[in-house]
A and B are shown apart, each in its own frame.
Chain A
Amino acid sequence: MKKAYLGIDIGSISTKGVIIDSDNNILLSKYIWTEGNPIKAVKEIIEYFKNNISDDIKIVSVGTTGSARRLIGSILNASIIKNEITAHAIGTLSIYPDIKTIIEIGGQDSKIILIDNGIVTDYAMNSLCAAGTGAFLSSQAKRLGIDVNNFGSIALTSNNPTPIAARCTVFAESDLVHKAQMGYNKNDIIAGLCKSVALNYLNNVAKGKKIAEPIIFQGGVSKNIGVVKSFEDILNTKIITDKNGHLMGALGVAILSKDKPEIEFDFNINNYKYSTNSKFCGKCPNNCEVIFINKDDEIIDHWGNRCPRGEKITNKN
């Protein structure tokens, strides 16, 4: 029996899963859309792993990260639930030990992680709004009637990117319509959008942070070669992208789970019905909304209450 470790990264847009061996080699990986249903997405990934894993491998611990990490963590009985910054840094460092800067643009958030000698020294994340992230790009692609997967290659055909204000998605949209009505070429507009994502990132998320080389670009948006090229042009340096760039968070949290006590993983989660429901506590003016995670009829976890009074309510009464 060979020991293996499972890492799941559940983001707003996509869900990523990896299984690694004790030397951090990726044995299996899967990338699917979350589609607003993290439980269904994770079940699908677990089903895929169950059908493809070889018989001599035993999963001894599970880690979860991403915005639904807690929900999925309690469903999978994870031994570690970690934030995506730490998970991304650990995952990336396992493959690129010399990396100094991680640029990460995902579906709804973007972050910069600064690393010195293999240690994270600082980070920043977008605040409040999702301008300039994957969600922004895909909504603009829809508006232009283009598949977001082709965005990058179309952008590369432009020699003259149209300036577009990307600070706010709503403003960008009207700017974009305006530019299209003025007669700008579609490929120039698309290239302009890619450039605006890079500029928005550097002016907001990375503001005041020292971007040292080597730089790696990750997250769903890193698959867009137009944005990669914009970063390279603006920073005037080579940017590393990795074909497994989207898996770094899952990889990192799988590595972190190796240090945790072993809990043998049960692949049969699809035999259970998992559901969530919520209830307002109502015991004080805060009126916290308490979320319950149910496995069949049993509550396996709950959160959302600010104080112990919320512990006493159940989802039944």
Chain B
Amino acid sequence: MKKIGIPKALLYYYYNDLWIYFFKYLKLNVVYSNQSNKKILSDGERLAQDEACLSLKLYLGHVKDLINRCDYILVPRLYSVKKNEGVCTNFNALYDLVNNTFDNINILNYNIDLTKNENELLGFLNLGKELGFSYINSYIAYKFAKEKSLENRIRREEKQKYNLTTNNTKILVAAHPYNLYDELVGKPIIDYLEDENITIIYSDRINHKIIDSECEKISTDIHWTHSKEVMASINYYKDKVDGIIIISAFPCGPDSLANHLAIREVKNIPVLKLIMEDLNSDIGILTRLESFIDILKQKKEENYEKNN
């Protein structure tokens, strides 16, 4: 049985549900790279160009981690996944980048480019074909995977809706999910907040149906599909949380514009911007988080005293 390797970085955090249910339905074996660790990062740094962003460096490290552990490595190419919108240039280049960085690598690829009418379904039909499945089999597998991944998303959204009703201190942590949940990037921050008993609201658990309408309140055309979720969450949750922490990987072009546009909408609560790069010292991040939590606690105490 052939094994498909999935790097636990970048697109994994958006599409894993879709991939895993698709492959599961077709009874294919999947193997993941390990969680991000210092070795994966340093491998990635060596492989990447020096001006690549932290997340791309990590991605290449994850690909390396999979080499010799599977028959294929899944590396899609995304160009435009929503009408009149684009995605991060790294996602455009991912297939070629990996292909040129590694020798003798067996890449499993699908392409989504709405400007050329190549949609997600077509991508998955071609993906199935390459693995030796008929269009009808792949079609059913795709539909199944699509339904399941939506179900999972809605479950996460419901849980978040419930978390929003608590009286506990709530912080929106807004970031691309590949930063938010990465073991080296967002995870230490999430862990710190959890230790401080903060209720965390995640930007990628916003009701997916309101993303477009919330973004329209900020600007009528935002180019990057994956930035819209982050922007919409900042705008939607700004009156519902006590503070916002924005995590971004250095250097991120879309973030530098999108985050700034969204922050301008926030008036009455503190916002902390954390830019993560491979040279970060933990103490620098800790100082910023600690101060931020102090501010929220002081405010809460003040309000409590006022109301009593």
CB distance from B58 to the nearest CB of A (A): 13
B295 close to A128 (CB less than 8 A): no
List residues of A (90-108) whose CB comes within 8 Å of B's CBs: none
Per the bound structure, the CA–CA distance linking A67 and B291 in Å amounts to 13
Closest to A67 in B: B283
- Which residue from B263, B291, B298, B302 sits with its C-beta under 8 Å from A83? B291
User: Does B3 touch A at the CB level, under 8 Å?
Assistant: no
Per the bound structure, the CA–CA distance linking A120 and B290 in Å amounts to 13
Per the bound structure, the CA–CA distance linking A82 and B38 in Å amounts to 29
By the criterion of a CB under 8 Å from any partner CB, how many residues of chain B are at the interface?
28
Residues of B within 8 A of A84 (CB): 287, 291
- Which residue from A83, A85, A287 sits with its C-beta under 8 Å from B39? A287
List residues of B (281-303) whose CB comes within 8 Å of A's CBs: 283, 286-288, 290-292, 294-295, 298-299, 302
Tell me the dominant secondary structure on chain A's binding face.
loop
The contact string, 1 if C-beta is below 8 Å from chain A, for chain B 161-192, is: 00000000000000000000000000010000
Closest to B184 in A: A286
List residues of A (117-131) whose CB comes within 8 Å of B's CBs: 117, 119-125, 127-128
By the criterion of a CB under 8 Å from any partner CB, how many residues of chain A are at the interface?
24
User: Does B135 touch A at the CB level, under 8 Å?
Assistant: no
Residues of B within 8 A of A127 (CB): 273, 275
Q: Known contacts being A86-B294, A208-B263, A208-B264, is A285 close to B39, with CB within 8 Å? A: yes
The contact string, 1 if C-beta is below 8 Å from chain B, for chain A 158-196, is: 000000000000000000000000000000000000000
Residues of B within 8 A of A83 (CB): 286-287, 290-291, 294
User: Does A284 touch B at the CB level, under 8 Å?
Assistant: yes
B288 close to A125 (CB less than 8 A): yes
Per the bound structure, the CA–CA distance linking A288 and B38 in Å amounts to 8
B299 close to A121 (CB less than 8 A): yes
A85 close to B302 (CB less than 8 A): no
User: Does B271 touch A at the CB level, under 8 Å?
Assistant: yes
The contact string, 1 if C-beta is below 8 Å from chain B, for chain A 118-146, is: 01111111011000000000000000000
Q: Known contacts being A84-B287, A121-B295, is A128 close to B264, with CB within 8 Å? A: no
User: Does B250 touch A at the CB level, under 8 Å?
Assistant: yes
Q: Known contacts being A208-B264, A285-B37, A286-B39, is A128 close to B291, with CB within 8 Å? A: no
CB distance from B112 to the nearest CB of A (A): 33
The contact string, 1 if C-beta is below 8 Å from chain A, for chain B 260-289, is: 100110000011010101010001001110
- Which residue from B37, B40, B188, B250 sits with its C-beta under 8 Å from A128? B250
Closest to A117 in B: B302
User: Does B213 touch A at the CB level, under 8 Å?
Assistant: no
B294 close to A285 (CB less than 8 A): no
User: Does B34 touch A at the CB level, under 8 Å?
Assistant: yes
Residues of A within 8 A of B292 (CB): 123
- Which residue from B38, B263, B295 sits with its C-beta under 8 Å from A285? B38
Closest to B279 in A: A128
Per the bound structure, the CA–CA distance linking A119 and B137 in Å amounts to 62
Residues of B within 8 A of A67 (CB): 283, 287
The contact string, 1 if C-beta is below 8 Å from chain A, for chain B 234-275, is: 000000000000000010000000001001100000110101
Q: Known contacts being A83-B290, A84-B287, A285-B34, is A120 close to B295, with CB within 8 Å? A: yes
B287 close to A85 (CB less than 8 A): yes
List residues of A (71-86) whose CB comes within 8 Å of B's CBs: 82-86
A119 close to B299 (CB less than 8 A): yes
Residues of A within 8 A of B286 (CB): 83
Residues of B within 8 A of A122 (CB): 270-271, 295
The contact string, 1 if C-beta is below 8 Å from chain B, for chain A 49-86, is: 00000000000000000010010000000000011111
B40 close to A285 (CB less than 8 A): yes
B39 close to A86 (CB less than 8 A): no
Residues of A within 8 A of B279 (CB): 128
CB distance from A206 to the nearest CB of B (A): 13
Residues of B within 8 A of A287 (CB): 38-39
Residues of B within 8 A of A117 (CB): 302
CB distance from B63 to the nearest CB of A (A): 16
- Which residue from A119, A123, A288 sits with its C-beta under 8 Å from B302? A119
Residues of A within 8 A of B270 (CB): 121-123
Which residues on A are within 8 Å of B, measured CB to CB?
A: 67, 70, 82-86, 117, 119-125, 127-128, 208, 284-288, 306
Q: Beyond A83-B294, A208-B264, A306-B188: 5 further Cβ-contacts under 8 Å? A: A82-B290, A86-B294, A121-B270, A208-B263, A287-B39
Which residues on B are within 8 Å of A, measured CB to CB?
A: 34, 37-40, 188, 250, 260, 263-264, 270-271, 273, 275, 277, 279, 283, 286-288, 290-292, 294-295, 298-299, 302
A-B pairs with beta carbons under 8 Å apart, 15 shown: A67-B283, A67-B287, A82-B290, A85-B294, A120-B295, A120-B298, A122-B271, A122-B295, A125-B288, A127-B273, A128-B250, A284-B37, A285-B39, A285-B40, A287-B38
Closest 5 CB pairs of A and B: A85-B291, A285-B39, A285-B37, A122-B270, A83-B290
